[in-house]
Amino acid sequence: MATFVDRVVLHVTGGDGGHGSASIRREKFKPLAGPDGANGGRGGDVVLEVDPSTTTLLSYHHKPHQRASSGDFGKGDMRHGSRGEDLILPVPDGTVVADKDGNVLVDMVGTGTRFVAARGGQGGLGNAALASPKRKAPGFALLGEPGQERSLVLELKSVADVALVGYPSAGKSSLIAAMSAARPKIADYPFTTLVPNLGVVEAGEHRFTVADVPGLIPGASSGKGLGLDFLRHIERCHVIVHVLDAAALESDRDPVKDLETIEGELAAYAGRLDEEAEDRTPLMERPTVVVLNKTDVPDGADMADLVRDRLAERGVPVFEVSAVSRSGLRELGFALAELVEEARARLPEPEAAPIVLTPRAVGVKEFEVVTEQYDGDKAYRVVGDKPERWVRQTDFSNDEAVGYLADRLATLGVEDQLYKVGAVAGSTVVIGPGQDAVVFDWEPTMVGGAEMLGRRGTDRRVEDNHRPTRDEKREDQKARVAARMDRLAAMEEERRAGHWADPAIDDQED
């Protein structure tokens, strides 16, 4: 069973907003005392937060779907719905968040760093909030918006001061175990280390972290072996330590050739890395140290004598150590501490994150009408944040709510724009993107199916004081009967002409 995961695809969903309430206050001697429906609560956000106690993305490997709680719905008597709780997801320090297309959204470095992965939906307004001098008694409320849905790619890049690189079985795990309290798996076969190990090393008053990266082989920069899966864990290091096996069992290998191979793989990987991170010191220009390991055995000591001068020509510090006898580790620790302190001193001073104000854009279109094909016919799609949000908030089972939506769209200028692009009565109009869009036949002469209503919250029938006379009622009744008889006669004529099929006859024929 996996115990370390450094890359996951996380599907996050913000909480849905609560629906608003359509309620009328009732008091003694005042059966209709005005609207008192309250607003729904906002849905909770999904927030990623750097937690020092979290070292892996394993929990999201097992549970890739995360959802925040939804807001409560509004109630009568002005009782607003409660807000949904935010879902805080802890991630390790050094986690990089990207979208499905690979675009980096945030690089989470530093304890407490936060990123809102998915925002909760806004709560719907109650009819009390929708009331106005022209709409005194709204009989509807707005629905809450659904929470934002996103699929994110999380990659962990270890935050360490020193990275140990080298061939498999070069003794990197033994070295980090001897220098720190880390206890990685150690064995005498290749690729013993399958996950990066972190250790804390103390050298006098100095303290720094060391990462033991799984062994690299020729072709690692193109994905061979463990390759790219763990090369990213050396991106943030200040110092690179090449651990060379001075007592390699293979006769065709020597430490210098191993060093040249690993440097070639790092250079190939650094080409892509340095293009993405312009503010970071290029990987191949960072301080480098060479460590000849396993010099406690005779073959290792002899090999160290043979390659010592060749390595010194490169102009990098060379240390001969033994993780078993611990010889040379003290000198190595103090040398690395000095290099780390120098690298830290060159880092720019951390700056507080600026407060970003995003004012409403001026002169930007709030919507646009696009002509396209829908089910083989010509359709007009209305695209824009406002129209799409209004559609999501509308209760289409309520005629007054649909009429309110029609008024909002007309005020925004949607009907005028539809006329300009050539839409006519009966044209197919689509509002919103994708398959979740609302489709309807446009009827510009009707006000959302509530043609009997005047201003929202009023009814013309209440203001009509005319009472029909007996003769007017009789004439109206005769007209309705005559219209009904005409419809029946037309239906009978169509049946006789064979335009209708008899289900009983069709069933016998089948």
Query: Does residue 295 have a known ligand-binding role?
Result: yes
Known binding residue 230? Answer is no
294: annotated binding-site residue?
Answer: yes
Distance between CA 121 and CA 138 in Å, rounded? 23
Strand partners, 288: 240
Q: Check whether 127 is labelled as a binding-site residue.
A: no
**What is the DSSP pairing of strand 149-156 with strand 95-98?**
antiparallel
DSSP structure class, residue 350:
P
* Distance between CA atoms of residues 496 and 508, nearest Å: 20
Q: What is the 3-state secondary structure (H, E, C) of 110-144?
A: CCCCEEEEECCCCCCCCHHHHCECCECCCCCCCCC
Exposure of 176 in the CB half-sphere (CA atoms within 13 A):
29
Q: Do the annotations mark residue 115 as ligand-binding?
A: no
Residues across the chain: 510
Q: Annotated binding residue at 445? A: no
Q: Is 414 annotated as a binding residue?
A: no
CA distance 49 to 347: 24
Q: Does the annotation list 376 as a binding residue?
A: no
322 marked among binding-site residues = yes
87 annotated binding-site participant: no
Give the three-state DSSP class for 445: coil
The answer on whether 296 is annotated among ligand-binding residues is: yes
Annotated binding-site residue? 419: no
Beta-carbon count within 10 A of 463 CB: 8
- Whether 173 has a binding-site annotation, put simply, is yes
Neighbours of 346 (CB within 10 A): 8
Give the largest CA-CA distance in the chain: 125
The answer on whether 193 is annotated among ligand-binding residues is yes
Q: Is 309 exposed, middle or buried (0-12, 13-18, 19+ CB in 10 A)?
A: exposed
DSSP type of residue 79: B
The annotation status of 55 as a binding-site residue, yes or no, is no
Q: Provide the β-strand partners of residue 88.
A: 47
CA distance 124 to 145: 7
Angle at 314 between CA 308 and CA 315, to 5 degrees: 100
Q: Distance (Å, rounded) from C-alpha 30 to C-alpha 76?
A: 16
With vertex at residue 191, the alpha carbon angle to CA 229 and CA 51, rounded to the nearest 5 degrees, is 45
375: which 2 tokens? 């089910």
Burial 351-368 (b: 16+ CB within 10 A, else e): eeeeeeeeeeeeeeeebe
When computed from its CA atoms, the radius of gyration of the chain, rounded to whole angstroms, is 36
Strands 318-320 and 288-293: parallel
Q: Is 166 annotated as a binding residue?
A: yes
Confirm or deny that 170 is annotated as ligand binding.
Answer: yes
Question: What token pair was written down for 100?
Answer: 């499905």
Phi, psi (deg, nearest 5) at residue 41: -80, 150
Q: Is 504 annotated as a binding residue?
A: no
Q: Is 212 annotated as a binding residue?
A: yes
153 φ/ψ angles, rounded to the nearest 5 degrees: -110, 120
Residues within the annotated binding site for GTP?
A: 166-173, 191-195, 212-215, 293-296, 322-324
Residues within the annotated binding site?
A: 166-173, 191-195, 212-215, 293-296, 322-324
Residues within the annotated binding site for Mg(2+)?
A: 173, 193
